[in-house]
Copies of this chain bind each other. A is one copy, B any other.
Amino acid sequence: MGILIKGGEVITATDRYTADVYAENGIISHIGTNLDAGEADKVIDATGKLVFPGGIDVHTHLDMPFMGTVTADDIESGHKAAAAGGTTCHIDFVIPERGGSLHEGLDTWFAKAEGKASIDYTYHMCITGWTEQVRKEMPEIVEKGITSFKCFLSYKGALDVNDAELLECYRTAKQAGAIVTLHCENADIVAHNQAQLLADGKTAPRYHYDSRPPEVEGEGTARAINIARMCGCPIYIVHLTCKESLVSVVRARKVGRPVWAETCIQYLVLDSDTCYASEDFEVSKYILSPPLRPAENKDILWDALLDNSLQVVSTDHAPFNYVGQKEMGRDNFCLIPNGLPNIEERLKLLYTHGVATGRMSANKFVEVSATNPAKIFGLWPKKGTIAVGSDADLYVWDPNETTTITQAEQLMATDYSCFDGWEVAGKVVATVRRGEVLYENGQFVGEVGSGQFVPRQPFNPFIYGTQSR
């Protein structure tokens, strides 16, 4: 039960060297030169290619009921697409009933994955309302290896918590050894803007942007951080998109507060200037929350990754078909299911627009796509690196080939792609998860159902802590 990846250039967040990598029973056991194939039942020749730690996508939504419909990708299609893109582990979100039990929510999500998983998976637990039951269950959930929560400042009346509830949630999470992740848009103001725009007859998709301008996210981010300061809870801002938010993260980190933040790949390569220019309903394909931002933010976000102000690039993969789903909002942008499909392209786009352009080193690419996600969310050292003793999660990348993204060939279930026809400066040759090949020769070749739930370690400020200062 072994696999040998021969002759590739192994890249971690720190190192870069040519070596063979051998794994037994899914765990990397040897890294060296001229390793004997030994008991390997599988050998991959990676000569002249790069061997990266498997991507970890800490922000996805598979088989999620949302806005009256369900995401186009379930666990099966989502995992296949992830594998095709080099991602071997993801963190999805359990969204319990508002007022309901966290445990029941978790069970519901476990059931969704049953028999369908091929990459490894775990969850953030959403707090969709504050009750004494929730307070009691939070530490129990941490015991189960779910060591991060999520609160929404947005989605008023549906998922949001008020400021005092947020503070209580922070306190409870901190005591339980968890980190809290946050969707930071001001719920009151978004709801108000929506009503006003609709009242003004502004129903086209592009007005979604006007309902959630950068200042709305900026306010939410400042508030999430300012309230965390009241109890010292470690927090993580999800899908940060713009300088209006970034400024608060930078200031908090400068004085040593335990604040981390991600951006998503779409905010690095798409922008509102281009995608929201028309009144056309096609714009709905690019509708997500927060929306895409003016182009100037792209450089700002890239720079923030380079100077460690942002630590992670995720996807917020939330796929809905154009036909039948996005179309639900034809007469009212508020009814367009929010989100876009991209779990398959995160690493391809980040490599192409980051590493291949010379903007980002290959080490940094690994850091923000695998190592930091693993360290922040308690998956390291099991996941997030290539090292003896770690899971053999990796993908072989050929930087010498050029490929093209097409909707036709994607494994994601959606009827469109935001990146159709975009060139990629490389190719996923093979994706390996715990020593098993999931993807090779352009095909998903893994076993559906082989993906495992990964319980995570409590938040450990010390392991990752040096980066918080």
In contact, B227 and A189 (Cβ under 8 angstroms): yes
**Assembled-state Cα–Cα distance A35/B33 (Å):** 13
Select which of B31, B168, B216 is within 8 A of A32 by beta carbon. Answer: B31
Which of A60-68, A271-279, A381-389, A392-400 touches B?
A: A381-389
Report chain B residues within 8 Å CB of A168.
Answer: 192
Per assembly, the copies of the chain total 4
| Given A192-B164, A469-B303, A32 contacting B33 (CB threshold 8 A) | no
A70 to chain B, nearest CB (A): 30
A358 touches B222 (CB 8 A): no
Q: Are the C-beta atoms of B390 and A17 separated by less than 8 Å?
A: yes
Write the nearest CB–CB distance from A23 to chain B, whole angstroms. Answer: 11
A244 → B minimal CB distance (Å): 8
CB distance from A363 to the nearest CB of B (A): 7
Instruction: Decide if A381 touches B16 in the complex (CB within 8 Å).
Output: yes
Do A223 and B219 contact each other (CB < 8 Å), given the known contacts A30-B33, A371-B14? yes
Q: Which of B17, B189, B371 contacts A388 (CB 8 A)?
A: B17
Bound state CA distance, A163 and B220, in angstroms? 11
List of B residues within 8 angstroms of A467 by Cβ: 308
Roughly how many angstroms separate A238 CA and B105 CA in the complex, as a whole number? 45
List chain B residues, Cβ under 8 A from A222: 222-223, 226
Instruction: Check A39 for interface membership: any CB of B closer than 8 A.
Output: no
Instruction: For A469, list chain B residues within 8 Å (CB).
Output: 303, 306-307
- Interface assignment of A213: CB less than 8 Å from any CB of chain B: yes
A364–B461 Cα gap in the complex (Å)? 13
Closest to A248 in B: B222
- Asked whether, in the complex, the Cβ of B18 is within 8 Å of the Cβ of A15, the reply is no
Docked pose: A16 CA to B382 CA in angstroms? 11
A462 and B361 within 8 A (CB):
yes
A226 and B230 contact, Cβ closer than 8 Å, known pairs A15-B12, A303-B256: no
Q: A306 to B466, alpha carbons, bound, how many Å?
A: 5
Judged by a CB distance under 8 angstroms, whether A22 is at the interface is yes
Contact B364 A466 (CB under 8 A): yes
**Nearest CB to that of A306 among chain B residues?**
B469
A450 contacts chain B at the CB level, 8 A cutoff = no
Question: A415 interface residue, CB < 8 Å from B?
Answer: no
Instruction: Please measure, in the bound complex, the distance between the C-alpha atom of A360 and the C-alpha atom of B463, giving whole angstroms.
Output: 9
Bound-complex Cα distance A30 to B33 (A): 6
Residues of B within 8 A of A17 (CB): 381, 387-390
Q: Which of B10, B13, B29, B227 contacts A14 (CB 8 A)?
A: B13
In the complex, A14→B366 CA distance in Å? 11
- Pairwise interchain contact B218-A191, C-beta atoms closer than 8 A: no
Residue of B nearest to A19 (CB): B388
Q: Which residues of B contact A157 (CB under 8 A)?
A: none
Q: Which residues of B contact A403 (CB under 8 A)?
A: none
State in angstroms the CA–CA spacing of A261 and B389 once bound together: 35
A133 at the interface (CB under 8 A from B): no
C-alpha gap A348/B141 in the complex (Å) = 41
Q: Smallest distance from the beta carbon of A164 to chain B beta carbons, Å?
A: 3
With a CB–CB cut-off of 8 A, which chain B residues contact A364?
466
Chain B residues near A385 (CB-CB < 8 A): 14-15
The residues of B that contact A443 with a CB separation of less than 8 Å are none
Q: Is the CB of B30 within 8 A of A389?
A: no
A361 surroundings in chain B (CB, below 8 A): 462-463, 465-466
B389 touches A33 (CB 8 A): yes
Interchain Cβ contacts under 8 Å between A and B, 29 examples: A14-B14, A14-B15, A14-B385, A17-B381, A17-B389, A17-B390, A18-B388, A19-B387, A22-B32, A29-B32, A30-B35, A163-B188, A163-B219, A164-B189, A165-B188, A167-B189, A167-B192, A215-B226, A215-B229, A216-B230, A218-B226, A218-B229, A219-B223, A219-B227, A219-B230, A222-B226, A306-B466, A308-B308, A360-B466
